[in-house]
Amino acid sequence: MASPNHRLWTRTQVAQAIKSGQTLVIYNGNLLRIPDSWLAQHPGGRLAIQHYIGRDATGEIDGFHSPYTLASRLKNYVVGRVDYGEEGWTPLLPPLETGWVRKPAPGGKWSWVNEAARLPSGGESEFLLIKKADMVDDAGPPLDALEPRPTSLLQKAQHTHALALRELHEEIKKQGLYKCRYLTGYGPEMLRYTLFAVLSIWLFRTERYLLSAVVLGILWHQLTFVAHDLGHCGVTGDWFKDRVLGIIIADLLGGLSIGWWVDNHNIHHLVTNHPTHDPDIQHLPFFAITPRFFNSLWSTYYNRIMSFDLPSRILIRIQPYTYYPILSLARFNLYANSYLFLLGDRGRYRLAELGCIVLFWTWFSAILSLIPSPRTRLLFFLITQIVPSPVHVQIVQSHFARSTADLGPWESFPDRQLRTTTDVSCPSSMEWVHGGLQLQVTHHLFPRLPRHNLKAASKLVKLYAQEQGLEYAEFGFVETNGQVLGVLREVANQVEVFCKVAKAEAEGNLSQGN
Going along the chain from its start, the domains and CATH numbers come out as: 4-147 (3.10.120.10), 184-388 (no CATH)
Please tell me the predicted confidence (pLDDT) of residue 503.
60
pLDDT digits (tens, 9 = 90+) for 169-203: 999 999 999 999 999 999 999 999 999 999 999 99
Please tell me the predicted confidence (pLDDT) of residue 300.
92
Other CB atoms within 10 Å distance of the CB of residue 365: 10
Taking the model in full, what pTM does it have? 0.91
Residue 70 burial by Cβ neighbours in a 10 Å radius (0-12, 13-18, 19+):
middle
Q: What span, in angstroms and rounded, lies between the C-alpha atoms of 426 and 474?
A: 10
> Quick one: residue 80, left, alpha or beta (phi over 0 = left, psi -120 to 50 = alpha)?
left
DSSP single-letter state for residue 305? E
The rounded percent of the chain whose pLDDT value lies above 70 is 94
Beta carbons within 8 Å of 348's beta carbon, 6+ residues apart: 41, 43, 243, 259
Contact 450, 439 (CB under 8 A): no
The rounded percent of the chain whose pLDDT value lies above 90 is 68
DSSP 124-141: S----EEEEEEEE-TT-S
Averaged pLDDT for residues 374-388:
96
Long-range contact list for 217-222, CB < 8 A, 24+ apart?
217/383, 217/384, 217/385, 217/386, 217/387, 217/388, 218/387, 218/388, 219/193, 220/253, 220/254, 220/384, 220/387, 220/388, 221/387, 221/388, 221/390, 221/391, 222/189, 222/192, 222/193, 222/196, 222/432, 222/435
Average pLDDT of the residues of the chain: 89
Residue type present at position 181: R
Strand 100-104 vs strand 304-305: parallel, antiparallel, or unpaired?
unpaired
Averaged pLDDT for residues 319-325:
96
Query: What φ, ψ does residue 46 adopt, rounded to 5°?
Result: -65, -45
**3 pLDDT above the threshold of 60:** no
Query: What φ, ψ does residue 111 adopt, rounded to 5°?
Result: -130, 150
Q: What span, in angstroms and rounded, lies between the C-alpha atoms of 235 and 131?
A: 40
Q: What span, in angstroms and rounded, lies between the C-alpha atoms of 397 and 391?
A: 10
Q: What span, in angstroms and rounded, lies between the C-alpha atoms of 330 and 323?
A: 11
